[in-house]
């Protein structure tokens, strides 16, 4: 009767495994249908990659779950005389639990990795081409370590092993590492903040207080490299960047203001000078029509009248060339129109002493 009971529960266990194998095919079919009908219609590829991770691991996970339940079923038919079989089933139960945890952790890591890669690819599409190669491997290793520690803690806790001392050791070790490398960690955290907040991108022209102007050449984990107008690389720690003020000339739009000041002699008709400036600005191909260029009389000095042209250049990178070209053109137009540039004069009067 005892043997029949063991055989009976063993047959049920075999049926459970068979059902889970068949159910695995059903789950894979459902996931495949879901991918074609719903996920395939979305614009992003992230959900497709997550589906691929699930499809690659669902079969093994379902089989492990089926075997785990089958072992529990076989144990129902054991008696005190089946010590050897009970011990083997105990080992099988432990191994199947560990295998299940490992597979779940593998699925989670795969999904997290796909999300990180997808996000880095989106950021790289804006110009940070080396970001995925630099940040991707490091992020994956950190996530592997963290999720691996969680898996170890779960497994140890399942077998009744006290994990309090392990957690204390990890806390003390983490504190020691943090104190030893606090500057490096601060820069790395600042690098993550820059990547998330994105105050600038590779190729943007930024101005740092005090007065450092250049184009962003590379955004790294520890530092950011800015190429100034002398073609020299300025390496700035990321922690310093997030603490200071940054002026981004390229964001949110590339057009930039052009302001040119001219001085003309007394007696010059303001409307005449204004017409020359507006004509030159209107005809220039790299100045925007909206907002339209404007001319203002901005000052009257001891020797001259000051007139200012304000317009909008199509691109901040062309500002200097546009200003230079306009100055040359307006200077020549002033000569043709007979508009004089004032010369500094000083009158000295000498009075006789009585």
**Could you tell me the pLDDT band of residue 351, with boundaries at 50, 70 and 90?**
confident
- Phi and psi angles of residue 299, each rounded to the nearest 5 degrees, phi first: -175, 155
- Among residues 239, 139, 244, the alpha carbon closest in space to that of 186 is found at 239
3-state helix, strand, coil in the chain (%, to 5): 60, 15, 25
Pick from 133-147, 279-293, 332-346: least confident: 133-147
d(CA 296, CA 274): 8
**pLDDT at residue 276, rounded to an integer:** 92
- Among residues 108, 101, 118, 107, the alpha carbon closest in space to that of 44 is found at 118
**pLDDT at residue 307, rounded to an integer:** 92
Mean pLDDT of 146-156: 78
Q: What are 42-100's pLDDT values in tens digits?
A: 667 777 778 788 888 888 888 888 888 888 888 887 777 777 777 888 888 888 888 88
- Among residues 332, 338, 334, 267, the alpha carbon closest in space to that of 304 is found at 267
The more confident residue out of 340 and 352 is 340
Q: What are 242-267's pLDDT values in tens digits?
A: 888 889 988 888 899 999 999 888 88
3-state secondary structure of 206: strand
Mean pLDDT of 135-160: 74
Mean pLDDT of 264-290: 90
Mean pLDDT of 184-203: 80
What are the Cα distances from residue 162, in Å, to 159, 168, 172, 231, 233? 9, 11, 17, 59, 53
Mean pLDDT of 173-179: 66
Residue 286 reports pLDDT greater than 50: yes
**pLDDT at residue 179, rounded to an integer:** 64
Pick from 75-79, 168-172, 322-326: least confident: 168-172
**pLDDT at residue 326, rounded to an integer:** 93
Q: How many CA atoms lie within 13 A of 281 on its CB side?
A: 26
What are the Cα distances from residue 202, in Å, to 181, 215, 314, 334? 27, 8, 20, 42
Mean pLDDT of the chain: 80
**Could you tell me the pLDDT band of residue 117, with boundaries at 50, 70 and 90?**
confident
**pLDDT at residue 164, rounded to an integer:** 67
Helices 131-158, 83-124: crossing angle, 10 deg rounding: 160
Residues forming a β-bridge with 226: 216, 234
Helices (H) and strands (E) in the chain, counts: 9, 8
d(CA 321, CA 238): 32
Tokens read off for 343: 């010369």
Range ranked top by mean pLDDT from 133-142, 261-270, 324-333, 335-344: 324-333
Q: What is the dihedral of CA 43, 45, 51, 53, to 10 degrees?
A: -170
Residue 248, Cβ density class (10 Å: 0-12 exposed, 13-18 middle, ≥19 buried): middle
3-state secondary structure of 165: helix
Q: What are 290-306's pLDDT values in tens digits?
A: 889 999 998 888 788 89
Pick from 5-9, 130-134, 177-181, 272-276: least confident: 130-134
Residue 278 reports pLDDT greater than 70: yes
**pLDDT at residue 1, rounded to an integer:** 43
Cis geometry, peptide bond prior to residue 67 (ω within 30 degrees of 0) = no
**pLDDT at residue 45, rounded to an integer:** 73
Mean pLDDT of 218-244: 87
Residue 2 reports pLDDT greater than 50: no
- Phi and psi angles of residue 277, each rounded to the nearest 5 degrees, phi first: -65, -45
């Amino acid at each position: 009767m005892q043997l029949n009971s063991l055989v009976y529960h063993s047959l049920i266990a075999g049926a459970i495994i068979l059902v889970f194998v068949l159910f695995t095919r059903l789950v894979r079919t459902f996931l495949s249908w879901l991918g074609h009908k719903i996920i395939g219609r979305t614009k992003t590829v992230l959900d497709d990659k997550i589906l691929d991770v699930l499809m690659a691991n669902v079969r093994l996970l379902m089989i492990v779950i089926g075997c785990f339940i089958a072992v529990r079923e076989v144990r129902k038919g054991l008696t005190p005389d089946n010590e050897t079989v009970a011990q083997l089933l105990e080992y099988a139960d432990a191994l199947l639990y560990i295998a299940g945890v490992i597979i779940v952790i593998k699925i989670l890591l795969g999904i997290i990795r796909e999300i990180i890669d997808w996000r880095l690819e989106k950021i790289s599409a804006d110009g940070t081409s080396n970001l995925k190669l630099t940040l991707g491997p490091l992020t994956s290793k950190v996530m592997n370590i963290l999720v691996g520690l969680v898996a170890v803690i779960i497994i140890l806790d399942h077998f009744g092993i006290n994990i309090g001392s392990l957690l204390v050791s990890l806390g003390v070790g983490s504190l020691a590492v943090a104190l030893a490398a606090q500057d490096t960690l601060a820069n790395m955290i600042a690098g993550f903040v820059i990547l998330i907040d994105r105050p600038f991108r590779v190729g943007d022209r930024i101005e740092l207080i005090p007065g450092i102007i250049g184009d962003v050449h590379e955004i790294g984990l520890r530092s950011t490299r800015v190429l100034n107008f002398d073609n020299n690389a300025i390496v700035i720690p990321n922690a310093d960047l997030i603490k200071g003020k940054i002026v981004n000339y390229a964001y949110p739009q590339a057009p930039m203001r052009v302001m040119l000041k001219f001085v003309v002699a007394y007696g010059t008709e303001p409307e005449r000078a204004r017409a020359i400036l507006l004509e030159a600005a209107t005809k220039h191909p790299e100045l925007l029509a909206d907002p339209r260029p404007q001319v203002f009389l901005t000052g009257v000095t001891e020797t001259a009248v000051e007139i200012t042209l304000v317009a909008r250049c199509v691109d901040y990178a062309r500002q200097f060339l546009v200003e230079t070209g306009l100055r040359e053109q307006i200077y020549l137009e002033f000569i043709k129109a007979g508009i004089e540039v004032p010369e500094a004069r000083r009158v000295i009067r000498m009075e006789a002493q009585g």
